Amino acid sequence: MERTLCFVGLVMAFICASTSAQVNSWTSGTSGNWDQPSSWSLGVLPNSSQSIMITNSGWKAVAINPSTPANFPDSMTIDSLAIVGAWDTENTLLLNYFGTDVPLTVLNGLTLQDGAQILNFNSGLVVQGGTITVTNSQINQDGGFIGMANAQMNLSDSVYNLTNGLFEGGSVSIGYPASAHFNQYGGTAIITNLGLASYIVGPIDNGISLYGGTLELPGGMSLLGERGGLSYFQAGGTNQTTQVTIVPDYGGFISGFTLNGGLLADSGVQLMAGYETPINIEQNGGSHVITNTLLIEGYSSHGDSTDPATYNLNGGMLSAGVIELDANEGDSVFVQSNATTSAGTVYAHSLGYYLSHNTIITLAGGTLSCSNYTTDDGRGTLNQSGGALVVSNLLDFRGTRNVGGPTIYYGQYTFTGGTLTASNINIAGHWIIGDGGTNRISNSGFCSLSHTIQIGNAVEQLGRFILASNATIDLAGTTSRLSFANSSGELWAGAATLVVTNWNGNPSGGGAEQLKFGTNQSGLTPAQLSQIRFRLGNSTNLYSAKILNTGEVVPDRVIQPSVAFSKQGNNLVLSWPAGWSLQSATNVPGPYFDVSGATSPYTNDMTFEPHRFFRLRQ
């Protein structure tokens, strides 16, 4: 009963839209040919002044054969067309190999409903105006031409299958209001304005599947996931479009965006998570070519709980002008397990929200190449366990985050496998070089450091070293060997200090752990060497550095701490670090003797000894 009421409503609406046209209905209960006058209610063939209806009960097909446009060309233009089925009825319009020279032309709208079907075999169908409403029905096109460039097409709870031929649509809504699907196996589809929002969940998965042929979307592809859901699947063919926007609306969802094969070519992509709805692209093969920017944006529904936006690249090829990870609103994630990625710039950034809203990039296989790579996020990470990272200009890792406690967080690049090739490197965060083989890193230009490099049991050669600010090199393994090119020509920050920790080498050189600058004693200037300190083990002592004739830098002498002093009347109050003993003398050259029982702070009465000199010893 519900379907019957719906049917009547649609037919009445259709008739009202064509009040100036006569209704000519198919009356035969069986299949037949379009050019049989006796099968039509008016007893004449269809013409441009008639609203044609194929709505009566019974399973049947009305066929337009090659003889119809040849012998009855006037019957090939009609005012409007309605094809309606029912629970016991499937009505089909069969466009049966009559070619495209004289297409079936519908002037003012087309309705398919409840089990209706258009089956096009190498024939032509043109809808010049009005609305094309397809509900619980199918259009199957194998060749020929279907043109709807000047009409609005709404596909609801229905399927359009394009196997071959040309489909040209002006404004097409897939899934409006109930979920529907467009399948393309070959041929060419050109849709000027495509809508994919669906508000009612139906038995059909809402979206597009491209297996072959060419899909052209000059108005872009906006995948706005509403309550009816949405998916995009491509295993072959070519999709050429402008901007691609993928975002679930409030209360909506996107069940999947998958590229397994073929070519997806667009001017830009925005992948944005929604309210309590993470979002992702899965690329397992094929080629995705983005002229401008791939933008990956997370979302946060409840403060620090985030809904990530993720691009998973498992195979194929990805090319983009810019790959941007924006985690200001929620986690932004790029994961590459294989494949080839090329970009002009990779830029990951976030202002952060406490410990969340992070950029996360993982490289486990394949090749990721770009001109410039920048992470500016205090909790941002690049985790490389395999593959090749190739940066032709600058690898720049920076960003800090202070969440209110004693710990300040820095962006972190963890390199445990694969290879890195970067002309220039700037590390203002953490760079962890894990255990591994020899010379996995190629750095032909400079390596600037203003925070930390930590190296495990590995042997690596980097470029010319620049000390940009206070920094640490942590030889965290037992056989850590880190070499830099001759750096004597580089300008270091004059007030900065480089601290080398956990050194376990040989003071004479050639030990298990080594830190080198160049291949001889000219690898650093004396001024640069004076800015290096060694901290050995758990000791608080700092050692100066010296450079050997091999370019290896080793600890030299303990740097004595200074004695701090203040004056209180005739008293001189001295203080010094723990682990040191106070000595005194009556003149500068000494001799110096321990001050018995002296502990920091120590008060010396200058009334009786106005000239007294002090120093520290261990």
In this predicted model, what pLDDT tens digit does every residue of 483-540 receive, in sequence order?
Answer: 999 999 999 999 999 999 999 999 999 999 999 999 999 999 999 999 999 999 887 7
| Residue 415: inside a domain | no
Residues 6+ apart with CB under 8 A from 540: 577, 578, 579
Q: What is the pLDDT of residue 502?
A: 96
If one counts every other C-beta atom within 10 angstroms of the C-beta of residue 493, the result is 16
- pLDDT number for residue 303: 65
Mean per-residue pLDDT, 392-409: 92
Question: Residues of the chain with pLDDT > 90: what percent?
Answer: 76
Is the pLDDT reported for residue 465 higher than 50?
yes
Q: What is the pLDDT of residue 618?
A: 67
Instruction: State residue 13's pLDDT score.
Output: 37
For the chain, the farthest-separated pair of C-alpha atoms sits apart, in whole angstroms, at 137
Does a structural domain hold residue 595? yes
- Specify the number of domains making up the chain: 1
- On the question of pLDDT at 614 being above 90, the answer is no
* Alpha carbon separation from 532 to 282, 311, 492, 537, 547 (Å, rounded): 48, 43, 11, 16, 11
Q: 547 in a domain, yes or no?
A: no
Q: Can you read off the two tokens belonging to residue 530?
A: 């004076």
Question: Confidence class of residue 305 from pLDDT cuts 50, 70 and 90?
Answer: low
Query: What is the reported pLDDT for 44?
Result: 98
3-state SS, one letter per residue, for 39-64? HECCCCCCCCCEEEEECCCCCEEEEE
Record the tokens describing residue 124, joined without a space. 């032509």
Question: 48-52, 396-400, 470-474, 534-538 — which is least confidently predicted?
Answer: 534-538
Amino acid in position 290:
I
- pLDDT tens track for 540-582: 789 999 999 999 999 999 887 778 888 888 888 888 877 788 8
Quick check: 232 and 258 in contact, CB under 8 A? Answer: yes
Answer whether residue 5 is part of any domain: no
Residue 602 lies inside a defined structural domain of this protein: yes
Q: Say whether 591 sits in a helix, a strand or coil.
A: coil
Q: Classify residue 612: in a domain, yes or no.
A: yes
User: Mean of the pLDDT values across residues 288-300?
Assistant: 96
pLDDT at 265 over 70: yes
pLDDT confidence band for 254 (50 / 70 / 90): confident
> In this predicted model, what pLDDT tens digit does every residue of 589-605 receive, in sequence order?
888 888 888 888 988 88
Query: Which structural domain range is residue 586 located in?
Result: 564-617
Long-range contact pairs involving 549-552 (C-beta distance under 8 Å, separation at least 24): 549/520, 549/521, 550/509, 550/510, 550/516, 550/519, 550/520, 551/483, 551/486, 551/516, 551/517, 551/518, 551/519, 551/520, 551/521, 551/523, 552/505, 552/509, 552/510, 552/514, 552/515, 552/516
Relative to beta strand 263-266, strand 238-241 is: parallel
- Segment 367-380 shows an average pLDDT of 98
Give me the chain's average pLDDT, please: 93
Average pLDDT over residues 284-289: 99
- Look at 254 and 49; give whichever has higher pLDDT: 49
Model confidence pTM above 0.95:
no
Q: Is the predicted pLDDT of residue 4 greater than 70, yes or no?
A: no
In the chain, % of residues over pLDDT 70: 96
Would you say residue 607 lies in a domain? Answer: yes
Mean pLDDT of 113-123: 98
The rounded distance, in Å, linking the Cα atoms of 95 and 34 is 10
Residue 281 domain-assigned? no
pLDDT in tens, 76-112: 999 999 999 988 899 999 999 999 999 999 999 999 9
Peptide bond preceding 103: is omega within 30 degrees of 0, i.e. cis? no
